Amino acid sequence: MKKEFDRRIGQQAIMYAFAEEEEEASITSELTRKNWLYGKGKVGSMELQKIVAAIETSAKRQRVVNPELYREMHALYHAIIEAMHGVTRGQVELGGMLRTAGLRFAIVRGTPFENVEEGEWIAVAVYGTIGAPVRGFEHEAIGLGINHI
Amino acid sequence: MKKEFDRRIGQQAIMYAFAEEEEEASITSELTRKNWLYGKGKVGSMELQKIVAAIETSAKRQRVVNPELYREMHALYHAIIEAMHGVTRGQVELGGMLRTAGLRFAIVRGTPFENVEEGEWIAVAVYGTIGAPVRGFEHEAIGLGINHI
Amino acid sequence: MKKEFDRRIGQQAIMYAFAEEEEEASITSELTRKNWLYGKGKVGSMELQKIVAAIETSAKRQRVVNPELYREMHALYHAIIEAMHGVTRGQVELGGMLRTAGLRFAIVRGTPFENVEEGEWIAVAVYGTIGAPVRGFEHEAIGLGINHI
Amino acid sequence: MKKEFDRRIGQQAIMYAFAEEEEEASITSELTRKNWLYGKGKVGSMELQKIVAAIETSAKRQRVVNPELYREMHALYHAIIEAMHGVTRGQVELGGMLRTAGLRFAIVRGTPFENVEEGEWIAVAVYGTIGAPVRGFEHEAIGLGINHI
Amino acid sequence: MKKEFDRRIGQQAIMYAFAEEEEEASITSELTRKNWLYGKGKVGSMELQKIVAAIETSAKRQRVVNPELYREMHALYHAIIEAMHGVTRGQVELGGMLRTAGLRFAIVRGTPFENVEEGEWIAVAVYGTIGAPVRGFEHEAIGLGINHI
Amino acid sequence: MKKEFDRRIGQQAIMYAFAEEEEEASITSELTRKNWLYGKGKVGSMELQKIVAAIETSAKRQRVVNPELYREMHALYHAIIEAMHGVTRGQVELGGMLRTAGLRFAIVRGTPFENVEEGEWIAVAVYGTIGAPVRGFEHEAIGLGINHI
């Protein structure tokens, strides 16, 4: 991995979301080496709130965030909504606009800035398909939300 | 490259946008093999219209679209604006909200569906940083727009 | 019909949506003469997805689009959503904002550009009323979405 | 003119905006008969504020609104912005998104409800083209804003 | 109360929404002195339409608006939606984005302009908390909508 | 001051923004007692970025945030933009929509949650008028943005 890439928390979250199971090890070992936290999962729904909930639950269960602290959940929530802007492109809505999404997501928490005082940040990457509720009538979509935590 | 990846025009556009010069060959040779068209470039600006213009110009010059056909420019334009939604997350605006973006972009045009009648589609991927007009006060952002062409 | 009007696919879709049954013949015979496809219908709902679905179903049944091709459904979908922006003016939402819409819609597919290479385009016009879920507490609204197909 | 049409202030504004000079007489004589006020004009710009200003100026000069009353200008302003939502479909912005609009507009002020206590309402209709700042690379757009005044 | 404050219908609506029961008298006696109408209430929901409905119902029951006139309900509706923009900051949506709001609201109707011809205006103020559907995982939010009536 | 009010960082920021010079002492002495940071200022502009810049500059100069840390500027920026949503109600734009704003703003930084681990939060309150670039053709507007810092 290149040095520039090392600090790119967003790109790493995206690569982690892209990764098939067999490709994950090289990414996660690198994240572990840096003492960064991470988690991933999959969710498909016409209901946007279910996607938000799935990412939140995953981040909590995989201990990327502390579920007891609103501060951390607040940071995560805004990162998720920002990521969903990239997926929905215009209005953060799925079923109400007669569309559905099938997404993989990854959450990475780490220190992307050289200055140690910049502290921890969280990146939420979502990648998958969005489209009509008809098999195959869908195209790819991506989103990334980054926040201080 | 895996079989599933082969059809993913969006993911390929993103990987191409991510790629440093020395990594590009494996991506572009694959795109060329499939007879897909592609182009890439960089742009930084506080003016969103300059980013749109830079991507349009790049797509024209690298012959990904036919600049004489409104049909093609219309497809490209909407793909660009959709991609910028992912970058701007809420309002497709930069300077008016006192922020600036430095982006790499890639445009890929190909046939992502097995059914040959689905014809050509275009993917615009943008990746880079967005933030205050102060060096280093910025974080990563990504966007992807896909349209039939 | 005037020569300028002849190419105006959007205005023709609007006039067709406006037309009462007895006025339709002059519009449809003109559209038929040009070998343009068209369809129309009515829908009233507080659920936006039902309006989108009604227009899609109507376009499929009246053979304005090929329901087997995602390419065509994608073009239609975006034209519908763009049209609904005109109706909803700010957020593409109805019931969640405690409002309902009663709409006539028309879909026209044709060749609005002189240059034959510009190919086919689709126009979706919606016209009717939007307002509170109380009879008479509503005013008119219009929307038009145009896309290449 | 049909009885239902008689009350439709929005549809009348649209027909008035559509009308070429030689077709206007039948519309305006009907509006005059009802003691409704009306005005129309044309404007083309990449700057949205110039379009808003042109419609406001036209409404003032043609005495559709009283320029001394904020109340009336407030009603008109919101009707204009709502109409521009139909034209811009997603974000009320032109040049910042590298697009331009060429529009005819009509303003009609009257009493569209049977109940006399519902008082006066104002309709702003805009119709024309929106697209790239390249001749012919544009398609039609429409918008309608209605407000109590 | 200061002279400038006397005309500020929005600030008065906010102070009235802020006021605990024991503080209300000084505000309402002042509003009564000016012959301004007012009402207030509380509502908590994940469904935005329930919040809109609660404010509408409250305004009707407390005779701030005439429920028989669409004109007045139209003015009120837009003021409510504008106020909810301040609460939701980006998209007028609650449950669909997995969030809930607990709000106090106040509606004030009066004559905030010196020029008597400017007539009556209505202000809707909402204040409370917005956040996750988890007790305490929420922060404050405010909104104000003002319209001529 | 009531106990509930004591934790309400948003309401305190609003009251501080409302306060005339002679009323400020009671608010600021209370904020000082809690060791909370605060600042305030005024700005009027048709350019939204100037309003954002004025609030940022004020927060830096009055030492509410550390201008050397992107982390803090990021938290502040998002709080400002959220506050401006309440002022602009629909699109975070001023001059491009032919409107101007004259605002007082207050920034408060403190610990609004009982749980000490929730740490510091920042509230940005803006209050003033928005309207046409014509004296007196404007009405009040408010906004509040809250973020963890």
pLDDT digits (tens, 9 = 90+) for B52-104: 999 999 999 999 999 999 999 999 999 999 999 999 999 999 999 999 999 99
Q: What is the pLDDT of residue E5?
A: 85
Which of D 49-108 lie inside 8 A of C, CB atoms?
A: 82, 85-90
- Chain F contacts of A117, Cβ < 8 Å? 69, 71
Look-up of token digits 């206007």: D24
Query: Would you say residue F103 has pLDDT above 70?
Result: yes
Please check whether residue F4 lies inside any domain of the structure.
no
Please check whether residue F3 lies inside any domain of the structure.
no
Burial readout B24-57 (b: 16 or more C-beta within 10 A, e: otherwise): beebeebbeeeebbbbbbebebbbbbbbbbbbbe
Whether residues F117 and A148 touch (CB distance < 8 A) is answered with no
- Chain F contacts of A121, Cβ < 8 Å? 71
Across the interface, of A71, A74, A118, the residue whose CB is closest to F71 is: A118
Residue B148 sits at the chain C interface (C-beta within 8 Å)? yes
- Chain D contacts of C90, Cβ < 8 Å? 82, 85
Query: Would you say residue D60 has pLDDT above 90?
Result: yes
- Chain E contacts of A74, Cβ < 8 Å? 131, 137, 139
How much is the pTM?
A: 0.98
pLDDT tens digits, C26-37: 999 999 999 999
Whether residues C97 and E96 touch (CB distance < 8 A) is answered with no
| Backbone phi, psi, residue E66, to 5° | -90, 110
Query: What proportion of chain A, given as a percentage, has pLDDT over 90?
Result: 94
Whether residues F121 and E112 touch (CB distance < 8 A) is answered with no
* Closest CA in chain B for residue A8: B140
Whether residues C70 and B118 touch (CB distance < 8 A) is answered with yes
Residue B110 sits at the chain A interface (C-beta within 8 Å)? no
Angle between helical axes of D9-18 and D21-33 (0-180°, round to 10): 150
* Closest CA in chain F for residue B94: F49
| Chains in contact with B, counting 3 or more C-beta pairs less than 8 Å apart as contact | A, C, D, F
Outline where A34-141 has alpha helix (H). 48-61, 70-88
Q: Where are the beta strands (DSSP E) in B17-137?
A: 37-45, 100-110, 121-131
Distance (Å, rounded) from C-alpha A67 to C-alpha F43?
Answer: 39
Mean pLDDT of D125-138: 97
- Chain E contacts of D121, Cβ < 8 Å? 71
Q: pLDDT band at residue C2, thresholds of 50, 70 and 90?
A: low
Chain-centroid distance, C-alpha A77: 11
| Chains in contact with D, counting 3 or more C-beta pairs less than 8 Å apart as contact | B, C, E, F
Distance (Å, rounded) from C-alpha C57 to C-alpha C64?
Answer: 10
Whether residues C142 and D145 touch (CB distance < 8 A) is answered with no
Query: Would you say residue C6 has pLDDT above 90?
Result: no
| Chains in contact with C, counting 3 or more C-beta pairs less than 8 Å apart as contact | A, B, D, E
Distance (Å, rounded) from C-alpha C49 to C-alpha A91?
Answer: 14
Query: What proportion of chain D, given as a percentage, has pLDDT over 90?
Result: 95
Whether residues A91 and E95 touch (CB distance < 8 A) is answered with no
Query: Would you say residue C1 has pLDDT above 70?
Result: no
Distance (Å, rounded) from C-alpha E46 to C-alpha F100?
Answer: 33
Distance (Å, rounded) from C-alpha F68 to C-alpha F61?
Answer: 12
Sheet holding B100-110, edge to edge: B37-45, B100-110, B121-131, B138-148
E strand or H helix at F60, and its extent? helix F48-61
Distance (Å, rounded) from C-alpha B80 to C-alpha D132?
Answer: 13
End-to-end CA distance of chain C: 25
Whether residues F48 and B97 touch (CB distance < 8 A) is answered with yes
Look-up of token digits 């005819």: D104
Mean pLDDT of D74-99: 98
Question: Sign of the C-alpha dihedral, residues C101, C44, D13, D134?
Answer: positive
Whether residues D92 and F93 touch (CB distance < 8 A) is answered with yes
In 3D space, the residue among C148, C144, C146 whose CA is nearest the CA of residue C119 turns out to be: C148
ipTM for the complex?
0.96
Q: pLDDT band at residue B1, thresholds of 50, 70 and 90?
A: very low
Q: What is the pLDDT of residue B2?
A: 66
End-to-end CA distance of chain B: 25
* Cα–Cα distance list, B85 to B18, B24, D92 (Å): 18, 26, 14
Whether residues B20 and A2 touch (CB distance < 8 A) is answered with yes
Query: Would you say residue E1 has pLDDT above 50?
Result: no
E strand or H helix at B139, and its extent? strand B138-148
Mean pLDDT of C13-39: 96
Chain-centroid distance, C-alpha A146: 9
Residue A117 sits at the chain F interface (C-beta within 8 Å)? yes
Q: Give the residue numbers spanning the domain of D132.
A: 9-148
Residue B48 sits at the chain D interface (C-beta within 8 Å)? yes
Q: Are D38 and D28 in contact (CB under 8 A)?
A: yes
In 3D space, the residue among D139, D112, D118 whose CA is nearest the CA of residue D10 turns out to be: D112
Across the interface, of F73, F74, F81, the residue whose CB is closest to B97 is: F81
Whether residues C96 and A96 touch (CB distance < 8 A) is answered with yes
Query: Would you say residue E87 has pLDDT above 50?
Result: yes
Q: Are E124 and E79 in contact (CB under 8 A)?
A: yes
Please check whether residue C2 lies inside any domain of the structure.
no
Q: What is the pLDDT of residue F1?
A: 46
Q: What is the pLDDT of residue C11?
A: 98
Residue F48 sits at the chain B interface (C-beta within 8 Å)? yes
Q: Are F7 and F112 in contact (CB under 8 A)?
A: yes
Distance (Å, rounded) from C-alpha C92 to C-alpha C76?
Answer: 16
Whether residues A92 and E95 touch (CB distance < 8 A) is answered with no
3-class secondary structure, F101? strand
| Backbone phi, psi, residue B38, to 5° | -160, 160
What domain count does chain E have? 1
Across the interface, of D49, D56, D70, the residue whose CB is closest to F96 is: D49
Whether residues E117 and D78 touch (CB distance < 8 A) is answered with no
Q: Tell me which long-range contacts A132-136 makes (C-beta under 8 A, separation of at least 24).
A: A132/A98, A132/A99, A132/A100, A132/C70, A132/C73, A132/C77, A133/A46, A133/A98, A133/A99, A133/A100, A134/C73, A136/B113, A136/C70
Interface test with B, best of F57, F77, F88 (most B CBs within 10 A): F77
**Nearest C-alpha of chain A: how many angstroms from F25?**
30
Query: What proportion of chain F, given as a percentage, has pLDDT over 70?
Result: 98
Whether residues A8 and B144 touch (CB distance < 8 A) is answered with no
Whether residues C137 and E52 touch (CB distance < 8 A) is answered with no
Across the interface, of F96, F132, F138, the residue whose CB is closest to D96 is: F96
Q: pLDDT band at residue D2, thresholds of 50, 70 and 90?
A: low
Please check whether residue E20 lies inside any domain of the structure.
yes
Q: What is the pLDDT of residue A1?
A: 46
Q: Are A38 and A107 in contact (CB under 8 A)?
A: yes
Q: Which residue would you say has higher pLDDT here, D67 or A2?
A: D67
Q: Which residue would you say has higher pLDDT here, C68 or B21?
A: C68
Whether residues F98 and D74 touch (CB distance < 8 A) is answered with no
Mean pLDDT of F123-127: 98
Q: What is the pLDDT of residue A126?
A: 98
- Residue type, position C35, single letter: N
Tell me the HSE value of C107 on the side-chain side, using a 13 A CA sphere.
29
**Nearest C-alpha of chain E: how many angstroms from D53?**
21
Which of E 1-30 lie inside 8 A of A, CB atoms?
A: none
Interface test with B, best of C7, C148, C149 (most B CBs within 10 A): C148
Distance (Å, rounded) from C-alpha C39 to C-alpha C54?
Answer: 12
- Chain A contacts of C49, Cβ < 8 Å? 95-98
Whether residues C97 and E70 touch (CB distance < 8 A) is answered with no
Q: Residues 6 or more apart from E132 whose CB is under 8 A from it?
A: A70, A73, A77, E98, E99, E100, E138
Q: What is the CATH number of the domain that holds A71?
A: 3.40.1510.10
**Nearest C-alpha of chain E: how many angstroms from A70?**
5
Q: What value does the mean pLDDT of chain C take?
A: 96
Please check whether residue F140 lies inside any domain of the structure.
yes
DSSP state of D20: -
Across the interface, of D48, D77, D92, the residue whose CB is closest to F132 is: D77
pLDDT tens digits, C69-122: 999 999 999 999 999 999 999 999 999 999 999 999 999 999 999 999 999 999
End-to-end CA distance of chain A: 25
Angle between helical axes of E9-18 and F9-18 (0-180°, round to 10): 150
Query: Would you say residue C59 has pLDDT above 50?
Result: yes
| Backbone phi, psi, residue E33, to 5° | -55, -40
Please check whether residue C3 lies inside any domain of the structure.
no
- Chain C contacts of A98, Cβ < 8 Å? 48-49, 52-53, 56, 77
Please check whether residue F87 lies inside any domain of the structure.
yes
**Nearest C-alpha of chain E: how many angstroms from A84?**
10
Interface test with D, best of F129, F137, F138, F140 (most D CBs within 10 A): F137
E strand or H helix at F15, and its extent? helix F9-18
Whether residues B11 and A123 touch (CB distance < 8 A) is answered with no
pLDDT tens digits, B93-136: 999 999 999 999 999 999 999 999 999 999 999 999 999 999 99
Interface test with B, best of F46, F56, F70 (most B CBs within 10 A): F70
Q: Are A127 and A148 in contact (CB under 8 A)?
A: no
Look-up of token digits 């499929």: C60
Length of chain D as a residue count:
149
Q: What is the pLDDT of residue E2?
A: 66
In 3D space, the residue among B81, D142, D4, D79 whose CA is nearest the CA of residue C124 turns out to be: D142
Angle between helical axes of F9-18 and F24-33 (0-180°, round to 10): 150
In 3D space, the residue among C4, C40, C1, C48 whose CA is nearest the CA of residue C24 turns out to be: C40
- Chain D contacts of E148, Cβ < 8 Å? 71, 74-75, 148-149
Q: Tell me which long-range contacts F57-66 makes (C-beta under 8 A, separation of at least 24).
A: F58/F105, F58/F107, F59/F107, F62/F37, F62/F38, F62/F107, F63/F37, F63/F39, F64/F37, F64/F38, F64/F39, F64/F107, F64/F108, F64/F109, F64/F122, F65/F107, F65/F109, F65/F122, F65/F149
Q: Are D65 and D122 in contact (CB under 8 A)?
A: yes
In 3D space, the residue among D110, D128, D77, D115 whose CA is nearest the CA of residue D11 turns out to be: D110
Chain-centroid distance, C-alpha B3: 22
